[in-house]
Structure 1
Amino acid sequence: MIRRFGESPEPGRRYRLRRGVYALLPIGRRLLLTVQHQPHPDLQLPGGGIDAGESPVAALHREVREETGWKIAAPRHVGTFRRFAYMPEYDLWAEKICLIFTARPVRRLGPPTEPFHEPLWMDAGQAARHLGNAGDRHFARALARKP
């Protein structure tokens, strides 16, 4: 059973299954996050959908690079959650299966290539309070508690 965060699915609404990967990227007590400015400002763990034929780890590397401009190393799967959400950029109601990884930010390669994204470093405890969805906050909180 995969833990669900956020709203319950609406009866009668059709949801498209979307698998995605998301990264906790700590250096010390800080996390590398992304701010997606459009369609509205949202603080997020870097990540996104897994393309057809793509492995989760390959998708993680690609998504982190696109949304933060950073190269990562040593990804490790730490958990999974599900949430039901409307995705305005795709005009889609989705059942999102979110695979959460930790990884080490290695170096900045350049600016994000994903439109409307900006990298942001934030204290893990602060991130656990301000991330835009409850699943992201749950995993950031668990990371912030580690000594």
Structure 2
Amino acid sequence: MHTDQVAELAGELRVALATSTRRIRSRRGGADLPDPQFNVLAILLREGPLSPGALADAEHVQPPSMTRTVNALVELGLVRKSEHPTDGRQVVVSLTDAGEAEVRETRRRRDAWLAAQLAVLTPDERRTLADAAGLLRRIAAGTAG
């Protein structure tokens, strides 16, 4: 494949992935959270309780922005803040049962939408996508070469 063809494929894949991601992310749980708030819940489910600073680092945002996000999630009852075990000046953010349920429901809805899209494809098309998923994971990890 020539350099121009590789560049053209890169553009086509970028658009297809971005559009697919937007369609998947539009499926939300009952709280209809914006992506930054949902991402915090997902991080807390995966990592466990974290400080607002660690959450800001994980999301590559400034601490004041994360403080606003966390406060909004506290108001919704999806996370709780508690005293840091070793530093009384800090707090730790953790999921509530409602926050965990929101993550699981959002993921269920997103998976269901994507499964419905995959169900109408042929078995060969699904095999092609299964192969592509592995390649995309390698690209995302920077180990495609």
TM over 0.5: no
State the TM-score, normalizing by the size of structure 1: 0.25
Structure with more of its chain in helix, by fraction: 2
Structure with more of its chain in strand, by fraction: 1
With a CA cutoff of 8 Å and minimum separation of 6, indicate the structure with the bigger relative contact order.
Answer: 1
Larger radius of gyration: 2
